Structure 1
Amino acid sequence: MNKFAPLLTAALLAAPPTLAATYKTDQGHTEVHFGWSHAGVSMQSGEFTVVDGTLVLDPENVEAATLNVTVQTNSVSTGFKPLDDHLSSADFLEVETYPEITFVSTGVEQTGENTANVTGDLTIHGTTLPVTLETTMTHLGPHPLGGAIEYYQGEWAAFSASATLDHLAFGVGPFSTGPISIRIVSELKATQ
């Protein structure tokens, strides 16, 4: 048996590397939306427009995936500058003191062919709490526009995700508006 050990070792060393690929968010096609009830009168919404994320994904081992996202808080946009200024102030996000919101995944549970619950540590306003994103993979492979536009050549991934947060638990805001709904959509380009 010992004479086969070198052959086995050589075969293992020659085996193809892991299928995991690293994907980076495409700024023009990544959106972080949030919504809340305005005193029960109407539903309001806004978004963060500057987002940087990295996804490491092996489609054969989805539960080993990792996701890291950084959102610039000063990119908050509701379409109404006075509200943007108020959300950026010490009453809410305190963007000068807390310039970033981060999400770092700690676990992935595949729930269907294209769905997974991604649990991670979400840090807002200096407070870190566990949050689970309900995600759906909407694309994996060559981009449909890759044949016509050079920028889109290569491998891409895309997903949508949602969660519900209690903003007061993160120390954001002087009063409750009820739960905040979060929705993320993103296209990510493979870097390797």
Structure 2
Amino acid sequence: MTLKSWIAAAALTVSMTPALAQTYKTDQGHTEVRFNWSHAGVSTQHGEFTKAEGVLDLNADDVEASTLNVTIDTSSLSSGFGPLDDHLKSADFLEVETYPEITFVSTEINRTGDKTADVIGDLTIHGVTKPVTLSVTLTHQGAHPLGGALEYYQGDWVAFTAIGEIDHMEFGVGPFSTGPITIMIDTEMKAGG
């Protein structure tokens, strides 16, 4: 094999080697999973889950080959009003003692712009799994602005916002429909966690 053909073969091998994904994990202190729903068309009510863990395997060279897995602690639900929290956690709605987790596992990612993508995945609530699409926007990638001052923020970070809608009745949650529930997520994720 000549030097020229060896270089060409080596270049072809490198170009065919898939890029390794970088793993990022959610920073709990900077991750919010909020939701809202219509209260009989009279007002809009809001709540959030305060405990959520996510793992993103991000392939920067091929974003559509990336994967996302999220687990939410249903007992962390908070609306700001204790009696409502207790009702939403009860057997009338989420049944948190029986179903302690909500999970989302991506099945497909479709890039829609330089910093946007539709992340399609299987959402499991109340033991029922349905496909859901989240519209995701990348808000940061690279070194954290606070990395120069605080050791915790050193390293690579990504941050996203995401929004989607679900029909809670499809998941067997609640005795009556409130219309679509809007889910809004803001998260900062650190490489390696």
TM-score interval for Structure 1 and Structure 2 normalised by the shorter chain: over 0.9
Number of residue pairs aligned between Structure 1 and Structure 2: 191
Which residue number corresponds to residue 54 of structure 1?
55
Taking the TM superposition and a 5 Å limit, the aligned residue runs for 1:1-192 are 12=13, 18-191=19-192
CA shift at 1:19, angstroms? 4.5
Amino acid aligned to 2:155? G
CA shift at 1:59, angstroms? 1.8
Structure 2 distance, partners of 1:102, 1:2, is 54
Q: Comparing 170-179 with 56-65, which one deviates more in the overlay?
A: 56-65
Q: 1:74 aligns to what SS in structure 2?
A: helix
In the TM superposition, what whole-angstrom CA distance separates every residue of 1:71-100 from its partner, at most 9, and x where no partner exists? Answer: 000000001110000000000000000000
Q: 1:86 aligns to what SS in structure 2?
A: helix
Structure 1 distance, partners of 2:64, 2:10, is 29
Amino acid aligned to 2:158? A
Structure 2 distance, partners of 1:164, 1:129, is 12
Amino acid aligned to 1:28? G
Q: Comparing 57-66 with 132-141, which one deviates more in the overlay?
A: 57-66
Structure 1 distance, partners of 2:129, 2:122, is 6
CA shift at 1:20, angstroms? 1.9
TM-score, scaled to structure 1: 0.93
Aligned CA RMSD, in angstroms, stands at 2.1
Structure 2 distance, partners of 1:148, 1:19, is 30
Name segments (4+ residues, structure 1) moved above 3 Å: 1-13
CA shift at 1:38, angstroms? 0.5
Structure 2 distance, partners of 1:186, 1:8, is 43
1:190/1:94 Cα in 2 relative to 1: closer, same or farther (>3 Å)? Answer: same
Q: 2:28 aligns to what SS in structure 1?
A: strand
CA shift at 1:124, angstroms? 0.2
Structure 1 distance, partners of 2:120, 2:84, is 31
In the TM superposition, what whole-angstrom CA distance separates every residue of 1:143-171 from its partner, at most 9, and x where no partner exists? Answer: 01000111000000000000011000000
CA shift at 1:58, angstroms? 1.7
